[in-house]
Amino acid sequence: MSHEHLLGTLASDVGHHWGARVLGLGGGDGADVSLSPTLLVADYSSLELGVQGDFCARLFGDEQLLDAYIAQARGVDMHSNHAREVFGRWLGWRVPAGLPFEGLTVDAIPVEEFKDHKFGKVLRSLIKTVWYGLAYGKFDFSTLKGADGKPIGKDTSTRMRGALLDAVPGMKSWFRWVERFVDKHHGIYSLGGRWCDLSLEMESPDEWLHKRAYRRGYNFPNQATGAEIIGDAMVRVMACAEFRALGYRVCLQVHDELVTRGPLVHVVRAGELLAGHMRAATANGTRLLVPLQVSVGHGSNYFEAK
């Protein structure tokens, strides 16, 4: 079956075949409970981290972010690790009096306790904001609020950003590489070969437009590669005859997750199929250097399924 045909028939499948089989033509007290509908949701875990790590490994031989991506599957929180490294090792910040580990540099707080520690969770939130801000080309974080509830100011912002880039040198290399590539080619590719044309900005005499092109260049490869992967996953799932035979259909794609729906009685097997197809997805034929991480849940509504 062609991809176009699958997309074209999805609505009628959900409205007729799935509804008649799962809802039992109106249900009522005599309906088979095992055929009750459930939402089955599969979500890529930290996909952007995996993609960014893939670029750094391919371009610079730097596998630090790939290692962080793999470690997250074991429950090691990347942002807690970065906060411990930046504020403890690089900036020498200490835990305030009256809190566990008081007087020690913050890297003394175990990583598994960091996000629940009263001071640690504030630092984790700061570094997480900086991390995602950098990914979108933001470099000024002076208005962020610290543990005292006041803006951290330009000096702390600059030191914090610099320490994070020192702690994760692959990102510093990434920014430099993107700027050189955009300068030369006036555009940039995703991992799957999708092209982002930045010639309008780069051929302008306006320096602000050049900087905007760089910001787009930092982020486009990650976002576009992620879109290629989730798009491929969606097509694979919709083309799976067994998944459809179990009564399941794709209802919605939300960023890096797929929301599907089908009878509760088949949810275990459907979840295995869904996760398998998502792990097999590629960026237009190019696989990431490490296995994709997928989490699956189900429930009577979206919040239960998540």
Closest among 286, 306, 288 to 296, alpha carbons compared: 306
DSSP string, 149-186: SSB-HHHHHHHHHHHHHHHSHHHHHHHHHHHHHHHHHS
Domain presence at residue 164? no
Q: Given a cut of 50, is residue 171 above it in pLDDT? A: yes
Determine the Cα–Cα distance for residues 293 and 195; give it in Å rounded to an integer. 26
pTM summary value:
0.84
186-to-180, 193, 209, 230 alpha-carbon distances in Å: 10, 15, 12, 27
- Residue 182 located in a structural domain: no
Residue 212 in domain:
no
What pLDDT is recorded for position 63?
97
The answer to whether 262 touches 270, Cβ cutoff 8 Å, is yes
Report if residue 80 sits inside a domain: no
In a domain, 211, yes or no: no
Write out the residue range of the structural domain in which residue 261 sits: 3-46+229-305
What is the tens place of the pLDDT at every residue in 35-83? 689 999 999 999 999 999 999 999 999 999 999 999 988 889 999 999 9
Cα diameter, the chain: 73
Provide the number of structural domains found in the chain.
1
Mean pLDDT in residue range 285-298: 96
**CATH code at 258?**
3.30.70.370
Q: Which residues pair with 38 in a beta bridge?
A: 262
Separation of alpha carbons 299 and 244, rounded Å: 19
Please write the tens of the pLDDT for every residue from 91-122.
Answer: 999 999 999 999 999 999 999 999 999 999 99
